[in-house]
């Protein structure tokens, strides 16, 4: 019995526990698609553009905390994955991208559909492989899969020339090579001693006004329970980054919401006033920090991260611990210490509840808030609606919010929602998108129909590229350049063309019909007409600090 490279790919994935893959066939992966034809145990979802496959794998990974897998052919197929790979890279999301490549003997000859995808993706992958022999194929796929998930997660790409997909080896040889595993060097070793944990504790004990910044690293580490335990033990206030949404529920005692450029005013103020910032699994992105010279200027900073390279990259901390969040925080909890910051927590938390909510896009989100539960996953696209969602939506459970944070990839929403729905068939998935981003990947809508995925796509249509418009209004003398989308397609007809039911909401009184629409078990496109001059506030202008916050009307 012999087995070819293409089947090895699928068999290896299956053994690694992969059940769903997203992809698009093409010349250099025809052998893999041939093997897929009667292969059992791995379900393939046919996207309509390779970018959608990468985003779907990303949405799958984020909401299931498991590696997402996508596949594309060589050349343009592979390059179409690039935006998606970069999106995962920026947010440390584990995806495995498999690309076909021209045959080994055609490499470097500018052959039909040849592209140096390893060269192209080197800066946006944790690692990538060009497979050279069929013998190393099982080992590489296995290694790539674990690499994506290990330490600080991220995308890994495996490029497989067509001749290797077609070559055959005996089952015995495959089994031998499958078992052969090189020892993976741990690139993210913990680098602290027990004493460091004690220093960590003492710094907390010595502080009077600490604030915890919760980052996405807590989600990838699976440390949400530990974090909640710690926050409860000391009754300290917390804030989160965009990636850290859902680490604690929105109604968690002392949780102030998202910080940063569009952060909740009182959350930013808490960081501004604190005397100790404890940053966990985050990287002080410029959208969080603003002016790095005045960020949390009254506070000492403790930085916990698994990636040594993040320590001191953007903000120089007073103290840092390099390692896995769950492990470190569990060690901290095992030290016997008591402290009660509830007075400080309550004083800043009181301000939060005084903030009034506004209308418009926000009223849609407030409407959504009335019926979302722990079984609802919210996926956003990128732009104003994304910030509104992060500011206003209420979350209960981790892994229920999915958004392109670091990369800010427009068009992420629909394909990521598809991935999230496939990863979580029992959950309700709502994609909130703008009219701009929607049109970047709208072709993937057909998957909702094809695979009966009950994703609800809510288009907040303001007939503009809202976030750019807002910047032009605030920072460029209202010179509105190329942001007008008054001429949009008829989204209702578009949904109809894809065989999806739709609903249009143009006044507030009919907002409540959203709930009804979302209850049913069918895909739905819901268009809500909103005003184009409704800006996201607060905003801290780029590079400025907290005191320059524009609160808006």
Partner 1 sequence: MSEHRYILLLVKNNAGVLHKITGLFVKRGINIETINSGECNLKNIIRITVTGIWDEYTTDQLIAQLKKLFDVLFVKELESKNSIIKELAFIKIELNNSEENGCEESKIKELAEKLNGKILEITDKNAIVQFVENPIEISNKISSMRAFKVLEILRTGSIGMNKGMEI
- When computed from its CA atoms, the radius of gyration of the chain, rounded to whole angstroms, is 24
Report the DSSP pairing between strands 95-101 and 68-72. Answer: parallel
Identify the bridge partners of residue 341 per DSSP, sorted by sequence position.
none
**CA dist 457 → 62, 251, 308, 433 (Å):** 18, 26, 39, 7
In angstroms, rounded to a whole number, what is the distance separating the alpha carbons of residues 108 and 479? 47
Q: Of the listed pieces 181-189, 276-284, 362-370, 482-490, which binds partner 1 according to CB under 8 A?
A: 181-189
Residue 6 beta carbon to partner 1: minimum distance, rounded to whole angstroms: 23
In 336-442, where do the E strands start and end? Answer: 376-380, 401-402, 428-434
Which is catalytic among the residues 86, 90, 282, 467? 467
* Residue 102 engages partner 1 in binding (rule: CB under 8 A): no
**The two structure tokens encoding residue 488:** 């949009």
First to last CA, the chain: 73
Taking the least distance from each CB to partner 1, the nearer of 313 and 519 is: 313
In angstroms, rounded to a whole number, what is the distance separating the alpha carbons of residues 281 and 219? 9
**CA dist 56 → 52, 194, 404 (Å):** 6, 41, 12
Q: Is 475 in the active site?
A: no
Taking the least distance from each CB to partner 1, the nearer of 191 and 547 is: 191
* Residue 309 engages partner 1 in binding (rule: CB under 8 A): yes
Report the DSSP pairing between strands 2-4 and 168-170. Answer: antiparallel
In angstroms, rounded to a whole number, what is the distance separating the alpha carbons of residues 420 and 423? 5
Q: Is 112 in the active site?
A: yes
In angstroms, rounded to a whole number, what is the distance separating the alpha carbons of residues 522 and 457? 11
Which is catalytic among the residues 50, 114, 310, 444? 50
**Residue of the chain from 127, 149, 201, 233 that contacts partner 1 (CB under 8 A):** 127
* Residue 108 engages partner 1 in binding (rule: CB under 8 A): no
Closest CA to 387 of 508, 550, 260: 260
**Residue of the chain from 17, 40, 108, 123 that contacts partner 1 (CB under 8 A):** 123
Q: Of the listed pieces 37-45, 122-130, 227-235, 466-474, which binds partner 1 according to CB under 8 A?
A: 122-130
**Residue of the chain from 41, 76, 312, 543 that contacts partner 1 (CB under 8 A):** 312
Taking the least distance from each CB to partner 1, the nearer of 20 and 324 is: 324
Residue 412 beta carbon to partner 1: minimum distance, rounded to whole angstroms: 22
* Residue 321 engages partner 1 in binding (rule: CB under 8 A): no
Q: Of the listed pieces 78-86, 310-318, 387-395, 429-437, which binds partner 1 according to CB under 8 A?
A: 310-318
Residue 180 beta carbon to partner 1: minimum distance, rounded to whole angstroms: 16
Taking the least distance from each CB to partner 1, the nearer of 125 and 238 is: 125
CB burial string 339-363: b at 16+ within 10 A, e below: bebeebbeebbeebeeeeeeebbbb
**Residue of the chain from 1, 17, 185, 426 that contacts partner 1 (CB under 8 A):** 185
Total site size for partner 1, rule CB under 8 A: 19
**Residue of the chain from 15, 187, 233, 504 that contacts partner 1 (CB under 8 A):** 187
Q: Which residue has the tokens 């710094």?
A: 203
* Residue 119 engages partner 1 in binding (rule: CB under 8 A): yes
Taking the least distance from each CB to partner 1, the nearer of 129 and 546 is: 129
Closest CA to 501 of 527, 525, 466: 525
**Chain residues that interact with partner 1, rule: CB under 8 A:** 118-119, 122-123, 126-127, 130, 132, 147, 152, 185, 187-188, 307-309, 311-313
Task: Give catalytic residues, as residue numbers.
Answer: 50, 112-113, 162, 467
């Amino acid at each position: 019995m012999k087995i070819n490279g293409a089947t090895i790919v699928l068999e290896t994935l299956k053994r690694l526990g992969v059940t769903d893959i997203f992809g698009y066939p093409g010349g250099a992966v025809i052998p893999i698609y041939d093997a897929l034809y009667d292969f059992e145990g791995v379900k393939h979802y046919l996207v309509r553009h390779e970018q959608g496959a990468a985003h779907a794998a990303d949405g799958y990974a984020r909401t299931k905390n498991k590696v997402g897998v996508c596949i594309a052919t060589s050349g343009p197929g592979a390059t179409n994955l690039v935006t998606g790979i970069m999106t995962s890279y920026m947010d440390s999301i584990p995806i495995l991208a498999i690309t076909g490549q021209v045959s080994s003997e055609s490499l470097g000859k500018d052959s039909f559909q040849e592209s140096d995808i390893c060269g192209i993706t080197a800066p946006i992958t944790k690692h990538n492989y060009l497979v050279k022999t069929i013998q190393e194929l099982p080992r590489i796929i296995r290694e790539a899969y674990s690499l994506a998930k290990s330490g600080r997660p991220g995308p890994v790409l495996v490029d497989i020339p067509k001749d290797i997909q077609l070559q055959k080896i005996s089952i015995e040889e495959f089994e031998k090579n499958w078992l052969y595993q090189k020892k993976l060097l741990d690139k993210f070793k913990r680098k602290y001693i027990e004493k460091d944990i004690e220093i960590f504790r003492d710094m907390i004990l010595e502080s009077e006004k600490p604030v915890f910044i919760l980052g996405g690293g807590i989600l990838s580490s699976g440390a949400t329970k530990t974090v909640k335990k710690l926050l409860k033990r000391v009754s300290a206030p917390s804030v989160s980054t965009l990636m850290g949404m859902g680490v604690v529920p929105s109604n968690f005692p002392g949780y102030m919401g998202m910080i940063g450029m569009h952060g909740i005013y009182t959350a930013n103020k808490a960081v501004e006033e604190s005397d100790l910032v404890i940053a966990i699994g985050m990287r002080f992105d410029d959208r969080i920090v603003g002016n790095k010279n005045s960020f949390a200027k009254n506070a000492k900073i403790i930085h916990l991260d698994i990636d040594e390279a993040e320590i001191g990259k953007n903000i120089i901390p007073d103290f840092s611990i390099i390692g896995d969040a769950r492990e470190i925080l569990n060690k901290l909890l095992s030290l016997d210490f008591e402290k009660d910051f509830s007075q400080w927590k309550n004083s800043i938390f009181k301000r939060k509840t005084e903030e009034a909510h506004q209308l418009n896009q926000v009223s849609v989100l407030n409407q959504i808030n009335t019926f979302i539960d722990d079984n609802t996953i919210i996926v956003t696209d990128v732009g104003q609606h994304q910030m509104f969602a992060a500011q206003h939506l209420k979350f209960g459970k981790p892994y229920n919010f999915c958004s392109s944070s670091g990369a800010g990839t427009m068009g992420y929403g629909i394909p990521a929602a598809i991935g999230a729905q496939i990863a979580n068939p029992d959950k309700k998935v709502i994609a909130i998108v703008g009219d701009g981003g929607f049109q970047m990947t709208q072709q993937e809508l057909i998957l909702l129909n094809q695979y009966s995925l009950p994703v609800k796509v809510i288009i907040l249509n303001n007939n503009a590229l809202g976030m750019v418009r807002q910047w032009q209004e605030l920072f460029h003398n209202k010179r509105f350049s190329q942001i007008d989308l008054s001429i949009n397609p008829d989204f209702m007809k578009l949904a109809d063309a894809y065989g999806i039911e739709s609903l249009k909401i143009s006044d507030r009184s009919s907002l409540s019909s959203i709930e009804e629409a979302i209850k049913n078990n069918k895909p739905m496109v819901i268009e809500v007409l909103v005003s184009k001059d409704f800006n996201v506030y607060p905003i801290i202008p780029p590079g400025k600090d907290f005191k320059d916050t524009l609160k808006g009307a």
